[in-house]
Structure 1
Amino acid sequence: MNMHRLLRRCALLAGLTAGLLSATTSWAVPSFARQTGQDCAACHIGAFGPQLTPFGIKFKIGGYTDSNGSSGNVPLSGMVVASRTHTGKAQDAAPVDGYKTNDNAALDEASLFIAGKLADQLGAFMQVTYDGIGKKTAIDQMDLRFAHATEWQGKELILGASLNNNPGVQDPFNSMPVWGFPYIGSALGFSGPETGTLINGALEQHVLGASAYAFLDNSWYAELGSYRSLSLTAQSRLGLGREDDPGKLGNGTAYWRLAWFKDLKSSAYSVGLFGFNSSIQPDRTNGSGSNRYRDIGIDGQYQFLGTREHVFTLQGSYVHETQRRDALLAAGEASNLNGSLNELKLNASYHFNQSWGLSLGHFRTDGTADSLLYAANAGNVPDSAGQILQLDWTPFGKEDSWGAPWANVKLGAQYTRYSKYNGAAKNYDGAGRNAADNNTLFLFAWTSF
């Protein structure tokens, strides 16, 4: 096993890495559009991607059950993503067996969705994905929801519950790190920091959680839930494999979310707090040590919607994670018992006529030094930072588009620039590779139907 793979495995066991191959995304699936009678742009900024309009936020809180009343809608959709990736300097080894060290074209993924109303108060967003890079099929994002509308002291109240497999995927505002820009990224180049907080995708698909939520007066949102690890057998049966198992979560695992939301029709905004506390037993052996994590974050967004011809958005999140690394210390994989990690994401976007999009993001991850956990990094720190620029065009996916709402296509070019990677701007690996060498141009074609 080479040093890069060993480092990735140790980081995964610690629950710290989001993984280079993970793209925490969800989509504007056409089955929602057929069910509601609306085009995809009614729910999603730019017709594609996780940025939700006020209509989309309320649709998700309502359990994916809002409908135009017509019968015969089948809650099935599909998606295919293809891409070409170029990095500033060829990688030392091919990122995945069967590919080159640079200039790779690929069928990234093909997904099937069960998405929409299942019963009067029950809806789902469930995704099964064929990974064209890893050549395997597995369960992807899952969010099964129950929602009940009532009143409290004369104000509208929605009470609901979510069964999901990724902490934060059920968030209705889609502004937490798990939804952070970029919404689609390269699996054959570099699309963000190697090391991430636990709530930023480190557990996705490998856990099962249940939470209860309330949405009062179209403004106040609160949610509380807990998660359990899937068994190794269950992970294998779901196509996830056992090699990426993050370990066994402790009984005290808790997820919480508070937010304030305001829909002003021509604009909207939200601001919130969130947290995730858990312990992880890497080897799942009774009596063995665990690593403990506490994530606390703040997030917010602003949308100028106007007449939907010119749409401007701002989003941001910040997470502080404290760590107690008993299991890592005992295994000789960390030199310090305690540590911390900080994660910042900011992005702005502009869309013209829901067709042409320009997005700019900034990301930064930094943390305390550890001579063993980050042994391969400059200065023994996880620090990375950079910017992402994306240009995209959505020819199909709007109300007056050809084939609406069945045909949806987005074409895009995304460029990721690194000012720091794994601890330094220059020679971060001790072998002469610079952060700028990882700058990645990612061209993609993305369709849903």
Structure 2
Amino acid sequence: MVLKVAIAKAFQGEDRLRISLRSALSLAAPLAVAFSLSAPEKAAALPSFARQTGQTCSTCHTAYLQLTPFGRLFKLNGYISGGGGPYGASGAQDALFDPPLPIAFLWQAGYTNYNRGLDAPTGNYSVPSPNGGFSGQNNYVDLAQQASIFYGGKVYGNLGMFAQLTYANDRARVFGLDNLDIRYTGQFTAGNIDVLWGITANNNPTVQDVWNTVPAWQAPFLDTPFAFGPAAGTMLDSLASPSLAVGTGAYVFINNTYYAEMAAYGSLTPTMQTKLGSPSPPDPAFTIDGLAPYYRLAFAPVWGEHAFEIGTYGMFANILPDRTFGVGTNKMADVAFDSQYQWLTDEHAVTLRANYIFERQSLDATTLINGGGNGVNYLRNFRLSGEYVYNHMYSFTATYWQLTGSSDAVLYANNINYSPNSAGWVFDVAYLPFMRGGPKIWPWLNTRLGVAYSLFNRLDGGATNIDPINCPNCRNAKDNNTLFVYAWTMW
């Protein structure tokens, strides 16, 4: 059965889908540059997709942002699949307004509370101080934490697009183009082999991915913009911020099971990044010299109520540290492995995820600039996540993350252990009242109300005295434990 028929039957409620992932190579590089980005907020469960397909959000998402097999196939097919009537989801004849274009909107509000207030001065310890810093304050209420407008759906023929413009009321307070994924897709059959192929242009590695294991879409799915985090990070984690790289690539998805992708990414100039909405000045730490190849392979069978994926992805790049020319480049190699399992019924949804990124850093340029430090370092980022959703309405997610790596007295001089080692947990409980359809007057409304708590076992090399500049009043890792209460509405 060709994929076009499989998609049509899926919209009629058929249970037998299979999936994998997609994204990569050329065609729309100019489009990717034209749309590059700004504030890296995650968003994906678009009401415009519901209007276009005639499906409720629960068809594509266990609890948005997390995709089901049907949602992954919709994305791989380039956001172009139809099925909705003139009033979209549920044939809502009494809808107040049915937009002629696949436009959607997002509004996010939040409350952030730290286990211990931010003390001044902060010394060498980097703290995410809202509004330029607030000494001793321990609470932050933001009724307009993020606002976005989306174009999500078919553009013309087999060309589809997911594009997000965002105003982020965080430390940078910028407006610009956020996540972007433009696709042109097709299908053909050769004997018993069904092939879905696609060409994509996007503005950060892994944003084109369809599993919630990779950096662009992994748990926690919602976080305060004032969250703490380790100073170190792998290249793939860092480039998941959409303004730092643009790329094009090509992918194939064979027999709804086997996925392969190749792509190439490059960095925009700081001027272009700023014009497109990045904070000024933009972060130069991972400026790519030339083009960086990216690959993705996955095996992803679906049977009955079960879906499984195991795969690998990676990137290899020459990096100009802090955009410094004339000192050579650092050679970065990221190799990652991921897996996901889902058990999905009409009432219960269980998802288990694992992701591991290994990074080798050959720091020739950094060593020359700093006059010391290790010539070669390693980072290892490991993440486990489990989620349970009841009746598409109540979700609970638990995530454990761990970052370990080589000690370096120059690179990690911000802590007394000269170490990147960090670890912690994130717990999230949410209520989603409209996953099966919104109010009759506006059936595409979706809302997520939740509480998240981030717990740090250690941060930047230790559990205690992680801010040595300010000792004896220095901070411990647990001081940065963060409570985040949020409301997220899309329409």
CA distance in structure 2 between the partners assigned to 1:404 and 1:218 by the alignment: 34
CA 1:23–1:350: 2 relative to 1, 3 Å: farther
Counterparts of 1:374 and 1:154 in 2: how far apart (Å)? 55
Contact between 2:331 and 2:363, CA under 8 Å: does it hold in 1? yes
Q: Matches of 1:277 and 1:99 in 2, distance apart?
A: 37
Aligned-residue CA RMSD in angstroms? 2.0
Indicate conservation of the 8 Å contact 2:146/2:168, yes or no. yes
Match of 2:139 among 103, 107, 112: 103
**In structure 2, distance between residues paired with 1:283 and 1:189:** 24
2:110 to 78, 83, 104: 83
1:365 aligns with 2:403: yes
Aligned to 2:48: 31
Three-state SS of the structure 2 residue aligned to 1:331 is helix
Q: Percent identity?
A: 35
Which residue, out of 175, 178, 184, partners 1:140? 178
Structure 2 contact 251–261 (Cα < 8 Å) conserved: yes
For 1:320 and 1:200, how far apart are their aligned partners in 2? 11
Q: Note the C-alpha offset of 1:395.
A: 1.5
Distance between the aligned counterparts of 1:375 and 1:288, measured in 2? Answer: 22
SS in 1 for 2:294: strand
TM-score (norm. length: structure 1): 0.90
1:41 aligns with 2:58: yes
1:196 corresponds to which of 212, 218, 233: 233
The correspondence for 2:167, drawn from 102, 119, 130, is: 130
Query: Match of 1:339?
Result: 377
Check whether the contact 2:53–2:83 (CA below 8 A) recurs between aligned residues.
yes
Q: Within 2, Cα distance between the matches of 1:428 and 1:245?
A: 24
Q: Is contact 2:79-2:154 (8 Å) kept?
A: yes
Give, in whole Å, the separation in 2 of the partners of 1:179 and 1:378: 33
Q: 1:284 to 1:200 in 2, by over 3 A?
A: closer
SS in 2 for 1:163: strand
Aligned residues: 425
1:297 aligned onto 2:336: yes
Where does residue 319 of structure 1 map in the other structure? 357
Task: Give 1:447 deviation, angstroms.
Answer: 0.5
Give the distance between the partners of 1:334 and 1:383, measured in 2 at CA.
Answer: 21
Higher relative contact order, structure no. (Cα contacts within 8 Å, ≥ 6 residues apart)? 2
Is the partner of 1:118 in helix, strand or coil?
strand
2:202 and 2:454 mapped to 1: Cα distance?
Answer: 30
Gaps of 5+ in 1: 1-20
Looking at structure 1, the residues matched to 442 and 297 of structure 2 have their Cα atoms a distance apart, in angstroms, of: 36
CA distance in 1, matches of 2:450, 2:372: 41
- For structure 1, which segment, 220-229 or 165-174, has the greater mean C-alpha deviation from structure 2 after superposition? 165-174
Distance (whole Å) between structure 1 residues aligned to residue 414 and residue 325 of structure 2? 31
Q: What residue in structure 1 maps to residue 14 of structure 2?
A: none
- Structure 1 residue 116 and structure 2 residue 153: aligned? yes
Change (3 A) 1:110 1:69: closer
Q: Check conservation: 1:168, 1:178, Cα contact below 8 A.
A: yes
Asked whether 1:249 is paired with 2:288, we answer yes
- 301, 307, 317: which is aligned to 1:278? 317
Structure number with bigger Rg? 2
Q: State the 1:288 CA deviation.
A: 3.3
The alpha-carbon deviation at position 92 of structure 1 amounts to 2.1
With the length of structure 2 as denominator, give the TM-score of the two structures: 0.83
